[in-house]
Amino acid sequence: MRNIIQNKEEFSNKLKKRAIFEGFAISGIASIPGSSRLKLRTKALERWLANNYHSEMKWMEAEKRKSIESLLNGAKSVLTVGFNYLSEEHTEKAKFKIGKFGQGQDYHNIIHKKLKKIGKWINTEIPSCKWKICVDTSPLLEKAWAEEAGLGWIGKNSNLINKEFGSWLTLGFLILSEDFTPDNSSQSLCGVCEKCIEKCPTNAITEPFVINSELCIAYHTIENRNQTFPKHVEKHLNGWIAGCDICQDVCPWNKKVPFNKSVEAYPKPWVKNLNIESLSWDEKKWKENLQGTTLKRIKPWMWKRNIKAMLKNT
């Protein structure tokens, strides 16, 4: 077995390179419990919850989210990774707009499979290392830990932003029981820019870094289980029926991001060709199309609600 103490830095670099080899765009390591910044991010989460800005996303209230150690006994470090979901084939339509994150294969499955391969690879060299995979369904301060590991900074639109890949990233984490060499945390490079705040049609970014879900198009098209939308959201849909990329599209850091050319990021054919005929699809047709995508979170009746609301205001 490798002497991890003597070769900690060497193996940490090897681990990050392995993540890139498996198909991630970026990777970094953070030590647990992290710097004082994590405490500040936790306090910010508590204020966000106290203002009920999470609306019906009650899973955000999970106490485990405030303590990464509760997810794995003996946790000492965390490998953080970013999957670039930006494809050159992403469709940009005037109608029937779908957030880029959801147009391809389900990123939860993609990230989980890649991290599982990395975990098994770690155990070929360090059999005693325990690990736990976390994607965004786990109670974890994902963006805060990604920032801590040097993957990027949390922008004013609350997305993680990387110098090279902008915010077109979904995040994954491998919590580890070994103490690997951490990377330097990232510093914000948003500067005085507030394009994301200025361009949000519903004013969902109430202040830098703070999103009020009740005003957010993405929240309502994906999470809202009511039969109708609030009027202040409905009138600003402007084609969005699943998610919303406005605050990312206008970000200067997203202008020259390299495309992910793997099939994993390619939009599904039905997404590229979605039109008004979809209102006549039965539940079976919807479920067939949604299979293997993150978009299955939006139920067939919600798609029809979203499309009708969008068409009504165009």
In a 10 Å sphere around its CB, with 0-12 CB exposed, 13-18 middle and 19+ buried, how is residue 153 labelled?
A: buried
Q: How far is CA 29 from CA 3, 21, 33, 141, in A?
A: 19, 16, 12, 15
Q: How far is CA 135 from CA 51, 158, 280, in A?
A: 25, 17, 34
Q: Where are the alpha helices (DSSP H) in the chain?
A: 8-21, 36-50, 107-125, 142-148, 195-199, 217-222, 231-234, 246-249, 269-272, 283-290, 300-312
Question: Residue 20 is encoded by which pair of tokens?
Answer: 């890139």
Closest CA to 248 of 172, 197, 314, 192: 197
Using left for φ > 0, alpha for ψ between -120 and 50, and beta otherwise, residue 239 falls in left
Catalytic residue chosen out of the listed positions 136, 179, 245, 249: 136
Q: Is there a contact between 164 and 258 (Cβ–Cβ < 8 Å)?
A: yes
The label of the residue with tokens 């339509």 reads: 93
Question: Residue 30 is encoded by which pair of tokens?
Answer: 């953070």
Q: Name every residue whose Cβ is closer than 8 Å to that of residue 8 and which is 6 or more positions away in sequence.
A: 179, 180, 181
Q: Is 179 helix (H, G, I), strand (E, B) or coil?
A: coil
Closest CA to 154 of 108, 123, 187: 187
Q: What angle do CA 305, 60, 111 make, to 5 degrees?
A: 80
The label of the residue with tokens 């303590």 reads: 67
Active site residue 136: yes
What residues are annotated to the active site? 136
